[in-house]
Structure 1
Amino acid sequence: MNKGAVGADAARTMKRAKAIVNRMETQISEKENLLKDIEYIDALTMNSQVSHHKRLLSVENLQLGYENLLFEPVHFTIEPHQRVAISGPNGAGKSSIIHYLLGTFNGKVVGEKSQPKHLTISYVRQNYEDNRGTLAEFAEKNRVDYQAFLNNLRKLGMERDVFHNKIEQMSMGQRKKV
């Protein structure tokens, strides 16, 4: 029995085993990196201006309705950085209050609203199925800067080639982003 040959065989086997272990560790490391969320997401831009007013909006004795008033008089004030929730059952007048604040309510109004002259009120609707037309038309209708709008859509992952489609031809996921 040649002990030198046995030792050399053992060394080669050990070297092969270490190479296999190193290769497996490298593959594991590469696969772990695939699982990490290393994607960088740009912040969306919002064109909001800071107001120097202590009160952004004040409503006194507000009642809205069509033939009949929808609710008893309400009073509220909204100050900078304040979050406000409007809650109530279906048909209580929540959407009517939003439309009144936006200046699009067509019913009967009782009460008073005061707000700074150049205050712009915006909101995000839950229902987006009735959005129609091109993105340029949508931006114009909603008084949104078109380029900032497209930039935000890109940041949300929408492909540029979709920008030429009409909104009603987009997928539901794309419509939600709009």
Structure 2
Amino acid sequence: MGKKKKKKKKKKDEEGMDNDIDTDDLPAIPPIHNVLIDLRTLTTEEEEVLQQVVEKDELETRALDKSVGAVRNEIEIIRSWAGKAKKNPNAKNPYYMGYMCVRCRRPLQIWKRPIPFVDSGKFCMHCMYRVCKFCRVEQNNGKYLCNLCLRLRQEKHLTGDWSDQGCAGLHSTDLLKISLQSR
């Protein structure tokens, strides 16, 4: 009696012309039902090798967690220095850091003049604060990072937070462990 009408979408191509596309001709995207890896075809030797890989990854993850913890401790120590360092009694605002190192509060200039034979400080390229030679590290490009910004950068590198997405979802070894346990 009645024929089914095909749904058509109009799509503009690169030149701006309308093209008719049959949506019935497009392949359907299959739903993801199971995230586990099918390990039924593995031999016992292959399974043992996979188990060794998972154990080695766990050891490396523990070592990485220790190094991340050490960097985080250093960050807390550097941040606590700012609270323990002496305030500038000569400034109207004792927390004004114009001619002092932000990290250790060493004077870099007196009366807006550089102290002879003393470091006048360089600006950190990330936080833009002036830091002394003891509280900064020179980068390959000739610019400087303060110790705090350097440690924060190391923490992001070690944890993988430097990328926009971060590590979302299961990691490959987590997926492998779950698949091995369910076998």
Tell whether the structures are fold-level matches, with TM greater than 0.5.
no
TM-score (norm 2): 0.25
TM-score (norm 1): 0.25
